[in-house]
Amino acid sequence: MSDVFADLVGQDEAVVELRRAAAAAAAVLRAGATDRASALVAAGPTDGARSASAGGTDPSAGMTHAWIFTGPPGSGRSVAARAFAAALQCVHGTGCGACPGCHTTMGGTHADVRMVVPEGLSIGVGEMRALVLRAASTPSGGRWQVVIIEDADRLTEAAGNALLKAIEEPPPRTVFLLCAPSTHPDDISVTIRSRCRVVPLRQPPATAVAEVLVRRDGIAPDVAQWAAAAAQGHVGRARRLARDPEARKRREAVLAVPRRLTGVGAAFDAASALIEAAEAEAEASVTEADTSERAALETALGAGGTGRGAAGAMRGAAGQLKELEKRQKSRATRAQRDALDRALVDLAGFYRDALTMALRAPVAPVHTDTAALAGAGAQKWDAEGSLRRLEAVLACRAAIEANVKPRIAVEAMMLALWKG
Ligand SMILES: [Zn+2]
């Protein structure tokens, strides 16, 4: 069986560092240092466990209690965090992939590994306080308490402060693993950043993505290669494109946009189509979860009860249902933005192809299936016109990120793409 780092595609340097840290962490446990907090926190060369495990005085070789995994979407930030968590819980201290520690962590059932996956637009302070409190308890498995925070860039300011407190005074056996697009202050506060070791992940090369699709998912090599290139280094998206005909259809519709822009009316139509497609995709992804959550909550609250106290119970229930609806609405908004952003990334790839062709740059196109169309665009628009269009797509992404209403941003983009 392959070990826990096998699915971390194209991240050799990060894997080397994480393996070394896991070995150092195992050495700390073996040494049974009476003061484990200093064993992890202090970076001094006098620390016995650290120098023994690192075989020297290089502090970066050892273990530390707070980490940030950065990298573009799909590069495997949460995959890396989970694999590292498994290596910390591994009975061999290596992330063998076969022992109960590895197995339960990778399966998401390890009692000492908590994963925070924000469903809405941000992680709130209440959630973070509860998490920090539980993370301070002694690990039941005798190794480490690991807290993984996916999308740490979505922490509210108050939640970030609650987390910072825990990172500043870490419980001796607690390890925080944060995932964020970058260490830019917009994503992670400078003070949290200064307390963490950063593991930068890169956009994995298409060949590495294709290789894992073939090996792990049994996808045919030619399909895997096409999907890996089209997904621009996003492993999850590549898998979806290779396996899901609906995802392929949505991508084709997006890539048909440049040909459809024949006038002002067509530009507005294309904007509507893009927004509606993103809404439909988002709705398909959240409706099922919404319905089952509501049914579960209603059952738990005993909806339909007529006995004594039922009226009082229903008043409380109304509050809980309202809270659930609020959370679901926030999740739906996020899903819509994510779907729209994927479409914009595809579209940006098309104009990037046109630009590289206009410049005669010796690089492979992102979208091999629309390369001819991009080539025609390159002739018509030249490098400058292609670049302006690419910039219009990127400006649209930035505007939506900055909370401009998606429809307004997309309409402005479509007009810019048409006018050039
Ligand atoms: Zn193991």
pLDDT digits (tens, 9 = 90+) for 165-211: 999 988 889 999 999 988 888 889 999 999 999 999 988 888 999 99
- For ligand 1, the distance from its centroid to the CA atom of residue 101, given in whole angstroms, is 6
Q: Which residues contact 211 (CB under 8 A, 6 or more apart)?
A: 9, 224
Q: Region of 378 please: left (phi>0), alpha (psi -120 to 50) or beta.
A: alpha
| Mean pLDDT lowest among 94-108, 158-172, 288-302, 371-385 | 288-302
- Please check the confidence at residue 53 and state whether its pLDDT lies above 80: no
- Please check the confidence at residue 58 and state whether its pLDDT lies above 50: no
pLDDT at 57: 44
| Mean pLDDT lowest among 43-52, 108-117, 401-410 | 43-52
- For ligand 1, the distance from its centroid to the CA atom of residue 8, given in whole angstroms, is 16
- For ligand 1, the distance from its centroid to the CA atom of residue 4, given in whole angstroms, is 8
pLDDT at 299: 72
pLDDT at 118: 67
- For ligand 1, the distance from its centroid to the CA atom of residue 28, given in whole angstroms, is 17
pLDDT at 111: 93
Strands (E), 156-272: 174-180, 197-200
- For ligand 1, the distance from its centroid to the CA atom of residue 98, given in whole angstroms, is 5
Listing DSSP states for 74-111 in one string gives TS-HHHHHHHHHHHHH-TTSS--SSSHHHHHHHHT--T
- For ligand 1, the distance from its centroid to the CA atom of residue 43, given in whole angstroms, is 27
CA–CA dist 364, 351 (Å, integer): 13
Q: What single letter denotes the amino acid at residue 212? A: V
pLDDT at 307: 56
* pLDDT tens, position by position, 372-399: 999 999 999 999 999 999 999 999 999 9
> Are the C-beta atoms of residues 85 and 146 closer than 8 Å to each other?
yes
Instruction: Choose between 270 and 315: higher pLDDT.
Output: 270
Highest mean pLDDT among 59-73, 98-112, 280-294, 310-324: 98-112
- For ligand 1, the distance from its centroid to the CA atom of residue 73, given in whole angstroms, is 28
Instruction: Choose between 137 and 49: higher pLDDT.
Output: 137
pLDDT at 405: 93
- For ligand 1, the distance from its centroid to the CA atom of residue 210, given in whole angstroms, is 27
Find tokens 């080397």 and name the residue. Answer: 16
Instruction: Choose between 302 and 124: higher pLDDT.
Output: 124
Q: What angle do CA 113, 119, 125 make, to 5 degrees?
A: 70
Indicate the SS3 state at residue 68: strand
- For ligand 1, the distance from its centroid to the CA atom of residue 27, given in whole angstroms, is 15
- For ligand 1, the distance from its centroid to the CA atom of residue 142, given in whole angstroms, is 14
- For ligand 1, the distance from its centroid to the CA atom of residue 109, given in whole angstroms, is 14
- For ligand 1, the distance from its centroid to the CA atom of residue 82, given in whole angstroms, is 13
- For ligand 1, the distance from its centroid to the CA atom of residue 12, given in whole angstroms, is 20
pLDDT at 313: 60
Q: What single letter denotes the amino acid at residue 52? A: A
CA–CA dist 399, 33 (Å, integer): 52
- For ligand 1, the distance from its centroid to the CA atom of residue 113, given in whole angstroms, is 14
Q: Can you read off the two tokens belonging to residue 54?
A: 């690192």
- For ligand 1, the distance from its centroid to the CA atom of residue 67, given in whole angstroms, is 21
- For ligand 1, the distance from its centroid to the CA atom of residue 90, given in whole angstroms, is 4
- For ligand 1, the distance from its centroid to the CA atom of residue 94, given in whole angstroms, is 6
> Are the C-beta atoms of residues 175 and 65 closer than 8 Å to each other?
yes
| Mean pLDDT lowest among 40-44, 92-96, 169-173, 262-266 | 40-44
- For ligand 1, the distance from its centroid to the CA atom of residue 104, given in whole angstroms, is 10
- For ligand 1, the distance from its centroid to the CA atom of residue 240, given in whole angstroms, is 29
- For ligand 1, the distance from its centroid to the CA atom of residue 105, given in whole angstroms, is 10
> Are the C-beta atoms of residues 65 and 176 closer than 8 Å to each other?
yes
- Please check the confidence at residue 59 and state whether its pLDDT lies above 80: no
- Please check the confidence at residue 87 and state whether its pLDDT lies above 80: yes
> pTM, whole model, 2 decimals?
0.70
- For ligand 1, the distance from its centroid to the CA atom of residue 83, given in whole angstroms, is 10
- For ligand 1, the distance from its centroid to the CA atom of residue 23, given in whole angstroms, is 12
Q: What are phi and psi of 123, to 5 degrees?
A: -95, 125
| Mean pLDDT lowest among 52-66, 140-154, 242-256, 276-290 | 52-66
Cβ–Cβ contacts within 10 Å for residue 376, how many?
Answer: 15
Q: Which residues contact 401 (CB under 8 A, 6 or more apart)?
A: none
Cβ–Cβ contacts within 10 Å for residue 329, how many?
Answer: 13
pLDDT at 312: 60
- For ligand 1, the distance from its centroid to the CA atom of residue 266, given in whole angstroms, is 57
Long-range contacts, stretch 258-267, CB < 8 angstroms, 24+ apart: 258/347, 258/350, 258/351, 258/373, 258/377, 258/417, 259/373, 261/414, 261/417, 261/418, 262/418, 263/418, 264/415, 264/418, 266/418, 267/411, 267/414, 267/415, 267/417, 267/418
Listing DSSP states for 161-174 in one string gives HHHHHHHHS--TTE
